[in-house]
Amino acid sequence: MSTSADTAHRKNASDSEDADPGPGGFIILFFIIGLSAAWIGGWVIFPKVLYSKKEQPVQFNHLIHNPLVKNGCESCHFFREDGSFAGVAKLAQCVSGCHEEVQGIDPQEAVFVNEYVAKNREVPWLIYARQPDNVFFSHAAHVKLAKMECVTCHGYIEQSESLKTYEENRVTGYSRDIWGRNLSGLALNSWDRMKMDDCARCHAEKTARKSSVQTEKEACFVCHK
């Protein structure tokens, strides 16, 4: 015959078994903790460690300058007579008829004139779109021949009132704009990143393919030197 003490002992043992999560419960708990740590490390901490932040030597307001130029982007970022692209504006372009002396009260204007114009030093701009050394890109082929607009690759930079912080990949040395701001590499707009598959996708959409055989125009050596 069981006594009341035996009954209480069995009840306590049953309650303990129900409360004990067992090894399976601990495994699930550790999995959740590890997954959370991985997400935080990969999406929050890792980008901060991977990219160093640098400010441009001088701030530049595209929105102010736009009404003052005649040919839009090509007033400062123009094609030379031989068809090559001049890229970032040189000091002489800024000085000629405009910035010989400090204009207005913007402290950045004073920095530009005193540190660069007066000393005849080119501004060491940080180039967001700088590609690897083995990549050849022709602005003439895309702008002049394909009639592409600057916004396709560079976004609405002409509407910006300041230059964003330059983020440099500590491993590759290139701008974050090449990979894209999204760590996953996803892009919502054509200007969100400048990776090889973006170029390939655009070419696939714009170029009529007459056969499945790769032509010389599509060969690797056209863009990679």
Compute the distance between CA of residue 177 and CA of residue 199 in angstroms, rounded to an integer: 14
> pLDDT (tens digit, 9 = 90+) per residue, 36-56?
777 666 666 777 888 999 999
Q: Is the pLDDT of residue 213 over 50?
A: no
Residue-wise pLDDT tens digits, 58-80: 999 999 988 888 888 888 899 99
Mean pLDDT estimate for the chain: 82
- The single-letter DSSP state of residue 135 is B
Please report the DSSP string for 51-86 in residue order: EEEE--SS---HHHHGGG-SSGGGGTS-B-TTS-B-
**Calpha distance 31→22 (Å, rounded):** 15
Distance CA 40, CA 168 (A): 21
Measured in degrees and rounded to the nearest 5, phi and psi for residue 84 equal -75, 160
The domain locations on the chain are 56-164+195-222
Residue 122 has pLDDT above 60, yes or no: yes
Tens-place pLDDT, residues 127-165: 999 988 888 889 998 998 889 999 999 999 999 999 999
pLDDT at position 109: 92
Average pLDDT over residues 175-193: 86
Among residues 43, 181, 142, 109, the alpha carbon closest in space to that of 35 is found at 43
